[in-house]
């Protein structure tokens, strides 16, 4: 896959872009957007500020493109490209590079955005999962490629397990990734939604959300510890007899003359063994 991720570990510069041909100036109209752009949202205020800066000082860091016939495909620098268009520039400085295939182009676009912290936490997590699914990269490999710890990658990916509404709040900036991790301390969908609403309504800090989640989960744990199963001596004796016969854990749920018997098994072979033993009792 071309030079792969190893060539992309450091932020791009004229010396580190693979197979670049120096800085050129090309028509802004000849640049096509990257179809694999991982960044989905662009802050308008930030974009306006960059536009004003480009009008005054020009583009300080060239964007990165790949030549395709008489046109160019954007690889890195979409925000600068958008701001340049808004600033009314006709030509902009670019690095023209050669990439082996679409796969390498996708890698470069993803990692450039991750390294520049241009992605919101959900987009970043989606970029990591894309690298994992599309290129079969482990969390360790992704971490090395983007210069972050494996635990950081793992925590980022956990955000994708949040309910849809909460992910959207993080995506649009109403919640931080820290809030998301605090919500993940809750164990059920409803409890996550409940804490999410509480954070939004009360404008809770990350620390406050974490403390609230810890308090709730610890109370539930204490409650579970206090719930002690009461079993009559007769039921306990029957359980022990069944355990002795079947050679596995057995639990009788007795409710005033009705109930059920739970027989545990720990493998397919174990299930077959227990089934044969029950049949032999007929």
Active site residue ranges: 78
Per-residue DSSP letters for 152-165? HHHHHHHGGGS-HH
- 158-161 contacts, C-beta under 8 A, 24 or more apart: 158/184, 159/121, 159/122, 159/125, 159/184, 160/122, 160/125, 160/126, 160/129
Q: Which residues contact 162 (CB under 8 A, 6 or more apart)?
A: 170, 180, 183, 184, 192
Q: Which residues contact 124 (CB under 8 A, 6 or more apart)?
A: 114, 156
CB burial string 174-209: b at 16+ within 10 A, e below? ebbbbbbbbbbbbeeeebbbebbeebeeeebebeeb
Give the full edge-to-edge strand order of the sheet including 23-27: 23-27, 91-97, 63-68, 71-76, 31-32
Q: Token digits for 87?
A: 């600033």
Which of 39, 178, 64 has the alpha carbon at shortest distance from 118? 39
Cα atoms found within 13 Å of the Cα of residue 257, Cβ hemisphere only: 0
Under 8 Å between Cβ of 143 and 157: no
Under 8 Å between Cβ of 34 and 73: yes
């Amino acid at each position: 896959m071309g030079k792969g991720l190893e060539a992309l570990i450091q932020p791009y510069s004229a010396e580190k872009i693979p197979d670049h041909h120096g800085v050129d100036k090309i028509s802004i109209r000849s640049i096509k957007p990257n179809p694999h752009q991982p960044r989905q949202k662009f802050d308008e205020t930030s974009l306006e500020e960059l536009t004003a800066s480009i009008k005054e000082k020009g583009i300080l860091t060239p964007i990165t493109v790949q030549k395709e016939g008489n046109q160019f495909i954007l690889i890195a620098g979409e925000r600068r490209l958008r701001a340049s268009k808004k600033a009314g520039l006709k030509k902009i400085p670019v690095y023209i590079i050669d990439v082996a295939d679409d796969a390498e182009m996708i890698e470069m676009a993803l990692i450039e955005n991750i390294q520049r912290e241009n992605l919101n936490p959900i987009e970043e997590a989606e970029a990591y999962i894309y690298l994992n699914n599309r290129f079969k990269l482990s969390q360790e490999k992704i971490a090395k490629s983007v210069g972050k710890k494996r635990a950081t990658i793992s925590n980022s990916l956990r955000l994708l397990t949040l309910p849809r509404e909460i992910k959207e709040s993080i995506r649009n900036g109403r919640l931080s990734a820290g809030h998301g991790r605090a919500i993940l301390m809750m164990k059920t969908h409803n409890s996550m939604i409940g804490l999410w609403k509480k954070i939004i309504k009360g404008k809770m800090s990350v620390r406050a959300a974490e403390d609230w989640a810890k308090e709730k989960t610890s109370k539930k744990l204490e409650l579970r510890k206090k719930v002690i199963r009461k079993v009559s001596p007769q039921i306990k004796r029957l359980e022990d007899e069944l355990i002795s016969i079947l050679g596995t854990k057995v639990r009788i749920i007795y409710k005033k003359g009705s109930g059920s018997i739970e027989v545990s098994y720990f493998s397919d072979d174990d299930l077959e063994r227990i089934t044969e033993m029950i049949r032999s009792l007929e």
